[in-house]
């Protein structure tokens, strides 16, 4: 069953398009990375899925229902981001105590163990927390809901290195014990890559790639060598990125294809790329990157 | 357990190779149960689907076999099969790389063979 089904979803703010014709499905119990550059539309998409914003056109279904103003969807999903607010009249301890009333799969024991591990103060108010402590609390809350669809929007913003790696580990261990659909956005793919099964890459409000992590890795390769050689090896291929190393040599990122094996035998240096590099090149504005500015 | 995440080798391949090394070292013996995809995911801090892919490779190569509902087990003769495979595939590929590099450096066949002899003596 599809947990999320988006068909040609669009959304605009005044005159700028935030999302354009977003179409994808998310099948059950996978960890998917929502990847994109700043302003790609990640947050807007997550807010629509969580039912916090309305889209303009197209169709959005979460658990087969339109998420906007839908109780069933909000009971079974959560969006963890830095805009989460909790009533100031409650201490953190009380927030955790009231949670089971809203989330039927809430794990009280797990929540308090995480709370103690990260050494948060139970008597404090949410609005008084530092940026890092707030991110930590929100993450604890999000994990403990055990929601069928758990979404994180840049969850590690503000967390220090140690908390980050603890969070990723906790997310993975809890997912193994209680499989559920997890959608996690980040502009640091390299950091979360190991946890992911699939990648949903969006750029300028559109879906660019939606594949397994390994398929993304194999999507493109880098070829380098003398200009004439590289041009001959990559003729007719889809060039994603190209950069002059010096006046004789060229570095080109092309879509992977079987013809490149021939080039390798002829002495081409062909390197595989990390998934984060593939995503970066696929979504770069100019073919030459920042170096073009200095030409 | 730490994986090389910067490696050009996909993680699932690294998992399969790690399991093979465990079989070669006889930490997993014939007909013994190996780690499940979830145990591997926990051990290496990776997605269980990636771990499953590593196991699947070994099942396809008949190094492991599946027992419904019980898990994955080391096939009899697995160690011999792995050693055989490594000899055929890994070594052939390495030799190919060496020959290509030698060509680039205009090292002759005789010189290359001499290098191998020297190396053998050193070891």
Q: Are residues B49 and A30, on separate chains, in Cβ contact within 8 Å?
A: yes
Q: What is the pLDDT of residue B6?
A: 63
Q: Which CATH architecture has domain A2-215?
A: 3-Layer(aba) Sandwich (3.40)
| pLDDT tens profile A221-277 | 999 989 998 988 888 888 899 888 898 999 999 998 877 877 877 778 888 898 999
Which one, of A141, A162, A163, lies nearest residue A152 by Cα? A141
Task: Collect all residues of chain B within an 8 Å Cβ-Cβ radius of residue A175.
Answer: 48
Cα(A72)–Cα(B38) distance, rounded to whole angstroms? 31
| pLDDT tens profile A167-208 | 999 999 999 999 999 999 987 898 899 999 999 999 999 999
Angle between helices A108-117 and A131-145 (to 10 degrees): 160
Mutation for testing the B interface, residue in A168, A194, A199 having most B CBs under 10 Å: A194
Q: What is the pLDDT of residue A288?
A: 65
Taking the C-alpha atoms of B85, B86, B87 and B90 in order, what is their torsion angle to the nearest 10 degrees?
Answer: 120
| pLDDT tens profile A53-93 | 999 999 999 999 999 999 999 999 999 999 999 999 999 99
Q: Are residues B47 and A169, on separate chains, in Cβ contact within 8 Å?
A: no
Task: Collect all residues of chain B within an 8 Å Cβ-Cβ radius of residue A214.
Answer: 10, 12, 50, 53
Question: How large is the average pLDDT for residues A213-227?
Answer: 91
Tell me the residues of chain A between 220 and 239 that have a Cβ less than 8 Å away from chain B.
none
More confident residue, B61 or A295: B61
Q: What is the pLDDT of residue A44?
A: 95
Question: How large is the average pLDDT for residues A119-141?
Answer: 96
Question: In percent, how much of chain B has pLDDT > 70?
Answer: 95
Measured in whole angstroms, the distance separating CA A88 from the mean position of its chain's CA atoms is 30
Give the nearest partner residue to A195 out of B8, B47, B104, using CB atoms.
B47
Taking the alpha carbons at both ends of chain A, their separation in whole angstroms is 52
Give the nearest partner residue to B47 out of A194, A272, A274, using CB atoms.
A194
Cβ atoms of residues A201 and A208 within 8 Å: yes
The interface pTM score, or ipTM, of the predicted complex is 0.84
Q: At a CB cut-off of 8 Å and minimum separation 6, what does A8 contact? A: A21, A22, A23, A57, A58, A59
Angle between helices B37-44 and A161-177 (to 10 degrees): 170
Cα(B36)–Cα(A253) distance, rounded to whole angstroms? 37
Domain chopping of chain B, boundaries: 11-77, 79-122
Q: Tell me: domain B11-77, CATH 1.10.10.10, correct? A: yes
DSSP label at residue A69: T
Question: How large is the average pLDDT for residues A12-39?
Answer: 92
Which contiguous run of DSSP H or E holds residue A5? strand A2-13
Cβ atoms of residues A154 and A81 within 8 Å: yes
Tell me the residues of chain B between 14 and 43 that have a Cβ less than 8 Å away from chain A.
38, 41-42
- Give mean pLDDT in consecutive 10-residue pieces for chain B, a chain of 123 residues: 70 94 94 96 95 96 93 94 89 89 90 92 87
Question: In percent, how much of chain B has pLDDT > 90?
Answer: 73
**CA of A113 vs chain B CAs: smallest distance (Å):** 19
The pTM for the full model equals 0.88
Q: What is the pLDDT of residue A270?
A: 87
Give the nearest partner residue to B38 out of A176, A193, A212, using CB atoms.
A176
């Amino acid at each position: 069953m599809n947990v999320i089904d988006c068909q040609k979803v669009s959304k605009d703010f005044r005159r700028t398009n935030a999302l354009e014709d977003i179409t994808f499905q998310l099948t059950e119990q996978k960890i998917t990375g929502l990847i994109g550059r700043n302003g790609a539309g990640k947050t807007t998409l997550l807010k629509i899925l969580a039912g916090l914003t309305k889209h303009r056109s197209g169709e959005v279904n979460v658990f087969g229902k339109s998420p906007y103003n839908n109780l069933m969807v909000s009971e079974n999903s959560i969006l963890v981001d830095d805009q989460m607010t909790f009533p100031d009249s409650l201490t953190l301890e009380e927030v955790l105590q009231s949670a089971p009333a809203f989330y039927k799969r809430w794990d009280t024991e797990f929540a308090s163990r995480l709370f103690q591990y990260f050494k948060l103060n139970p008597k404090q108010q949410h609005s008084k927390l530092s940026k890092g402590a707030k991110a930590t609390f929100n993450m604890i809350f999000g994990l403990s809901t055990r929601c069928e669809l758990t979404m994180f929007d840049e969850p590690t913003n503000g967390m220090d290195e140690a908390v980050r790696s603890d969070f990723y580990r906790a997310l993975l261990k809890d997912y193994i014990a209680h499989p559920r659909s997890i959608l996690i956005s980040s502009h640091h793919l390299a950091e979360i890559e190991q946890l992911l099964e699939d990648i949903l890459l969006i750029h300028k409000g559109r879906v660019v790639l939606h594949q397994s992590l390994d398929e993304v890795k194999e999507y493109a390769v880098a070829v380098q060598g003398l200009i004439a050689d590289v041009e001959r090896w990559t003729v007719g291929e889809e060039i994603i990125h190209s950069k002059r190393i010096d006046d004789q040599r060229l570095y080109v990122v092309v879509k992977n294809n079987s013809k490149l094996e021939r080039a390798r035998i002829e002495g081409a240096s062909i390197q595989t790329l990390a998934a984060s590099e593939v995503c970066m090149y696929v979504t770069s504005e100019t073919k030459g990157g920042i170096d073009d500015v200095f030409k | 357990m730490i994986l090389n995440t910067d490696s050009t080798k996909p993680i699932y391949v690294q998992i399969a190779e790690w399991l093979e090394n465990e079989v070669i070292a006889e930490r997993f013996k014939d007909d013994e149960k190996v780690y499940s995809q979830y145990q591997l995911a926990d051990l290496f801090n990776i997605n269980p689907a990636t771990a499953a892919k590593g196991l699947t490779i070994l099942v396809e190569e008949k190094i492991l076999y599946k027992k419904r509902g019980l898990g994955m087990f080391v096939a009899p003769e697995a160690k011999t099969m792995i050693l055989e495979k490594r000899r055929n595939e890994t070594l052939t590929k390495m030799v190919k790389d060496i020959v290509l590099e030698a060509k680039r450096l205009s090292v002759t066949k005789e010189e290359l063979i001499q290098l191998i002899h020297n190396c053998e003596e050193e070891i």
